[in-house]
Amino acid sequence: MSRTIYVNGSYQPYDQATLHVEDRATLFSDSVYEVVEIKNGNLIDQQDHLDRLARSLNEISLTPDFSLNTIPFIIRESVRRNRVRNGMVYIQVSRGVAKRDFIFPNPDMTPATLIIFARSSNFIAKEVQASKGIKVITMPDIRWKRPDIKTTGLLASVLARQTAKGQGAAEAWLYDENGFITEGAASNAWIINEQDELITHPATTAILKGITREGVMRAAKQLQLTYIERPFTIEEAKQAKEAFITAATNLVMPVTHIDGDPLNNGQSGAVSLRLRHIFHEFAQLTK
């Protein structure tokens, strides 16, 4: 089966799906995106992701010439054409193609660029990884000051993840100038204390307000677990009973080591795994 990618109105063969050189996404990262999980053919919390896409567009003053209401149809068609049962769908909107200029192009003459692709992922491999847990390292948060907007300006995150990989870790936890962990390079960061309270950074402009993060909060309420939105330091994290990360691509992924120091004897924590396994019960599923 050949894969296709939606680019501005048509489904193009994977090898031929391209953006113009002067697309604002390539020159300026003048673009925002979303990643939605697909589980058993269902889109997980799709509406929340589309709401956040609308917010990101609004924050960068980009009003597309198409209705965002068309996106669920294209997502559905992309999933169907690419026969994805478990995986993810990626949605990106840029300010379109225009002669390179820092000033916005005239929106009436410059249609936004919409790309959407759906991709399968190895569901079993993720479960195996979750049972083993992942290692994280800590690094200074050198990103711009608005990571709450889901833009494609991800170079600092790419470099952080690559550094983590070089040190045998799967994620980098980023810390601010006061030593507080903000979030991961591409995930939200959580710790669990001895009282089984979940702690994560508040949804300020310093982090992306994750949709999976919200789902974990819903699940925690059902399990009668307390969650607290407050910053925590690297030291507090290293003393935690458990830790985990959340993202649409990872769900709840237990953390076993921070900078090489083991948590929970280097094993995935029971509360983290419980949250992972019940997560979908509290998610909104779209066929």
Q: Which residues are catalytic?
A: 150
Nearer to ligand PDD, 99 or 230 (CB): 230
| 135 is a contact residue toward ligand PDD (CB under 6 A) | no
| 247 is a contact residue toward ligand PDD (CB under 6 A) | yes
| 186 is a contact residue toward ligand PDD (CB under 6 A) | yes
Count of residues touching ligand PDD (by CB under 6 A) = 15
| 93 is a contact residue toward ligand PDD (CB under 6 A) | no
Nearer to ligand PDD, 20 or 119 (CB): 119
**Pairing of the two strands 242-247 and 188-192:** antiparallel
Nearer to ligand PDD, 164 or 211 (CB): 211
Closest-CA residue to 158 (of 145, 177, 171): 171
Contacting ligand PDD (CB under 6 A), which of 151, 188, 256, 272? 188
Contacting ligand PDD (CB under 6 A), which of 84, 97, 248, 252? 248
**Please, which residues have CB within 8 angstroms of residue 267's CB and are 6 or more apart in sequence?**
133, 256
Nearer to ligand PDD, 98 or 244 (CB): 244
| 133 is a contact residue toward ligand PDD (CB under 6 A) | no
| 284 is a contact residue toward ligand PDD (CB under 6 A) | no
| 183 is a contact residue toward ligand PDD (CB under 6 A) | yes
Residues 205-224 touching ligand PDD, rule: CB under 6 A, are 208, 210-213
CB under 6 A: which stretch of 132-140, 183-191, 192-200, 258-266 binds ligand PDD?
183-191
Contacting ligand PDD (CB under 6 A), which of 249, 267, 284, 286? 249
List of residues contacting ligand PDD (CB under 6 A): 35, 147, 183, 186-188, 208, 210-213, 246-249
